[in-house]
Structure 1
Amino acid sequence: MKPTTIKTSFDCLAFKQSSQEKMAEDMKNLSYLEEVEYLKIKIHQSDLKAWWEAINKNK
């Protein structure tokens, strides 16, 4: 049996790196509390919102 080859143009590591660079640029002049607020906003705009709410429910 021949292995299946999946061709994709999505590079996970490049996507991760570019995302981290953008966030670092966005946060470079923020205070600690501003960084926390920035991350909360980004989380609530993302698919991680349900996970974030679930882990904070127990606090």
Structure 2
Amino acid sequence: MRDVYSLVLRMKRGDDRAFEVIVKRFAPVLKANSSRRGYFEEDCYQECLIKLYKGLKRYEKIN
């Protein structure tokens, strides 16, 4: 998970490549959430990506 955390930090600093890596790593989960009705819904997938991006931008580690 440290790997993901470093990617999130890079993304928050403006590294678009880091977000691409995160998306590729979690693609199976994103695609599964976009295929709930038995077929792939592109609009749903796009919404998932937007929510992921916005959520990661707001993310702050709590110790």
Higher relative contact order (CA 8 A, sep 6+): 2
TM-score by length of structure 1 reads 0.33
The answer to which structure has the higher helix fraction is 2
Rg: which structure is higher? Answer: 1
